[in-house]
Amino acid sequence: MKAAVFERENPTWLRKWLMILFLGRHNFVQFSNAVSLRHMADEHGFDKSIAHKLIRVARVHFRRQRKVMTVPQLPNRQVFFASLLKSDSIKKAIEEEAINKKISPEKARENCD
């Protein structure tokens, strides 16, 4: 349920409100200075290419801000361990452990969990 409500990538206004409500102090809100579009238009002109350039600059700026503010998602613990147990070196270590302790490979694998 938490994953559905607190999805980090592009949350809707409702999800943002729920995140603030339930996560409380675990949120970080950053306010930036306002940008005057009138000033930009007066300074750089009203050309359509200037407007597209402004949009691109804003998109890059906010993408960078989001990247800085969000932490990378950690892999699910169980999925991570399952992928480790599938690697060749771990399989070989499990086989060696089973041979050294004279137990079945299944029992040696259970000991790894």
CA-closest candidate to residue 45, choices 34, 37, 35: 37
pTM: 0.41
Same domain, 88 and 108: yes
Query: Could you give the number of structural domains in the chain?
Result: 3
Q: Walk along the chain (113 residues) and give the pLDDT tens digit of each residue.
A: 565 555 566 777 887 787 778 777 776 777 778 878 788 778 887 788 888 888 898 899 888 887 777 767 777 888 888 888 888 998 898 889 889 888 888 888 887 76
How buried is residue 18: exposed, middle or buried, by Cβ count under 10 Å (0-12/13-18/19+)? Answer: middle
Based on the fold, state whether residues 39 and 69 are members of the same structural domain. yes
Q: Are 82 and 64 in the same domain? A: no
Is 51 found in the same domain as 69? Answer: yes
Asked whether residue 83 falls in the same domain as residue 66, the answer is no
Domain that holds residue 84: 77-112
Same-domain check for residues 62 and 44:
yes
